[in-house]
Amino acid sequence: MNRTLKASVLGLAGLGLLTSTALAELSGDLRIISDMSNPAPRAVMESLAAEFGEMHPDLNIELEIVDREAWKTQIRNALSANPPDVINWYAANRMAPYVDAGLFEDITDMWDDGSLPGLDAVRGAMTLNDRQWGVPYTYYQWGVYYREDIFNELGLSEPATFEEEIANCQVILDSGRKCYAIGTKFLWTAGGWFDYLNMRTNGFDHHMQLARGELSWTEDEGVRETFANWRRLIDMGAFIDDHQSYSWQEALTFFTDGEATAYLMGNFAVAPMRDAGLGDDQIDFYQFPIITEGLAQGEDAPTDTFHIPSGAENKEAARAFLQFVTSADVQTRINNGENLGQLPVNANSSVDADEFLEQGFEMLSGNAQGGVAQFFDRDFPAEMASVGMEGLQEFMVFPDNLDDILERLEDARGRIYE
């Protein structure tokens, strides 16, 4: 890489990370391939490489930044033909093809020996086969964003349980509004609803077993309970009409216009809510309510990651880099609003003074007992996710088709997980 890059882009220089790994004498070449190709992430990646190089002057860092979408088809070849020392990817089951092929390095020892303090809440996202295969560096929360001004008008408060959620919804419907905006034209938004309803009905472990193909869609009673809970909302008329015709952005208009009062969505939706003219005194956020008491509450928090290829040549430097990028100070800096604008994965970090980032960080940092899911289309294998989300959208439009939908999903499970 160009060693004239300055760490001052992020103000990262001089952090003084006094860990044994950071102070180790590192030398040779450290090759990094990153898919952080958009302008802000690219600046983050370049600055991380520059500062790490300043900390280790005998280490030559070669940074290659590739197109994010292209990387999805290039990664296997890169891992097989001439593997670098560090790469970007995604957490949970999106790691599985490369873990199963022996292309990712097992770094469980780093998670066990205290090298990665503050990451307990996200350990599950990096776990396959009871081992850890990389580190996260940023994520963002999902939850229920709602029109606080309309809740106040109707005398409603944030629900803690599903029964309170349904009671609120009835009041909203009686006022002539819909409870939830959603656009399922591109299917994945229905996946978010299934994730939360299933994690709240059956727990995080059940949800991950389903994602791994270990449970039957037709024979597992928990799955049917999840759809029964979902149908309670559908039968009430809780969701906007014709949602299958809208993208999530198009459906957002129902929320910003006050025709629907809540949106189950990721934190990336806050900016367009604000851009549409809603003030922070009009919108707020709450954690998806409890359905089954006593279950650890898993959360959807899509997570971006760093990994060491098993064929890497400088694994000592690669491990030091992973420790560096997950340290509390670095996590605070790279995730602030001027850079990634997301959440740090280290529970000892801090976040910008933004109420939604603060609420999300508090929720996820305290979620070590539950689990961090990666969203339906990341947790399930790609083909299963496609078939599954088609079925979920169909259920929202034609709930009487449930038996046929579950049969199709079960047939797909038998084929895909062979």
Is the Cβ–Cβ distance between 352 and 377 less than 8 Å? no
What span, in angstroms and rounded, lies between the C-alpha atoms of 390 and 400? 15
Residue 195 vs residue 125, higher pLDDT: 195
Pick the CATH number of 7-140+303-361 from 3.40.640.10, 3.40.1160.10, 3.30.470.30, 3.40.190.10: 3.40.190.10
pLDDT in tens, 323-370: 999 999 999 999 988 889 899 999 999 998 899 999 999 998 875 457
**DSSP state string for 38-58:** SHHHHHHHHHHHHHHHHH-TT
State the maximum Cα–Cα separation within the chain, in Å, rounded to a whole number.
69
Is the domain defined by 142-300+381-416 classed in CATH 1.10.357.10?
no
Higher-confidence position of 128 and 240: 240
Collect all residues with Cβ–Cβ distance below 8 Å to 2 and sequence separation of at least 6: none
Taking the domains of the chain in order of start, what are their residue ranges?
A: 7-140+303-361, 142-300+381-416
**pLDDT above 90 (res 24):** no
Place of tokens 């106040």: 152
On average, the pLDDT of the chain sits at 92
CA 260 to chain centre: 25
For residue 275, pLDDT over 70 is answered with yes
Rounded distance between C-alpha atoms, residue 256 and residue 146, angstroms: 10
- Name the band, by pLDDT with cuts 50, 70 and 90, for residue 317: very high
Beta-strand relationship, 131-132 and 135-139: unpaired
Nearest to 7 by CA among 182, 15, 308: 15
- Cα four-point dihedral sign 384, 389, 392, 397: negative
Residue 289: which residues within 8 A CB-CB, separation 6 or more?
159, 160, 161, 162, 164, 165, 200
Give me the mean pLDDT over the 133-141 stretch.
95
